[in-house]
Amino acid sequence: MGMTMYSQLDDRWQRIMLGESSTTIGANGCLLCAVASGMADAGVTIDGLPPDPPRLNRWLARNRGYVAARTSTRERNLFVFNALGPLGVKLVEYIDARSSAAPVAKIEKALEKVDHFVAIHVDFTPGGSNQQHWVRAVAWHTSDVQLMDPWIKGDSQEAYLMTRYALPSWDEPARAVFRIAIYQALGVSATLTASSLNERAIVQEQLYTYQP
């Protein structure tokens, strides 16, 4: 299927600092790239231009889309999931499924809607301690989910949840999904109420750096 593919390892932006910090898009920009891909395919723009990773990164840094961990006030690089409202993008639902089976039917339902896109947290090295890696779900299958994986570099992808981010003993996608972020592109003309702009921030827990 057609989709916008944004790799965090793209030479055009992998060395750009993530937010206001000492880490880079290449090292820690998986969530940024997954969300940027979904925004692009939903027709969202930033000042009339494509929301590619460096442009979205800059917008987030200037619009409270990143915050610092409590232990490091200078490293403002944790993604705020519900910060995209001014761009006409609504966080429909954020689900933490680390301690229960992920409600993957919600992924299936969201992917049926052209104005929705979904980012999911997977384990970069399944079976060990959970290393938070974010990908975009792009197509639903009965026993698998096709992905746009920011860790894959190049113009084409053939990535699936169960073959890339699940152990052979895991028999369903619900086991391999740890968090779900469902978005809807409403358009910049959408009216944002004061309460929606001031709601409590939903923040990425931490960053992991991977080795190729």
Write down the pTM of the prediction: 0.93
Q: What is the pLDDT of residues 12-31, one digit of tens each?
A: 999 999 999 999 999 999 99
**Domains along the chain with CATH numbers:** 25-197 (3.90.70)
- How is residue 59 written in tokens? 């917008």
Kindly tell me if the per-residue pLDDT of 53 is higher than 50.
yes
pLDDT of residue 16: 98
Give the sign of the dihedral formed by CA 104, CA 89, CA 160, CA 14: negative
Q: What is the pLDDT of residues 117-135, one digit of tens each?
A: 999 999 999 987 888 999 9
Q: What is the pLDDT of residues 55-72, one digit of tens each?
A: 999 999 999 999 998 877
pLDDT of residue 195: 44
The strand pair at 76-79 and 132-141 is best described as unpaired
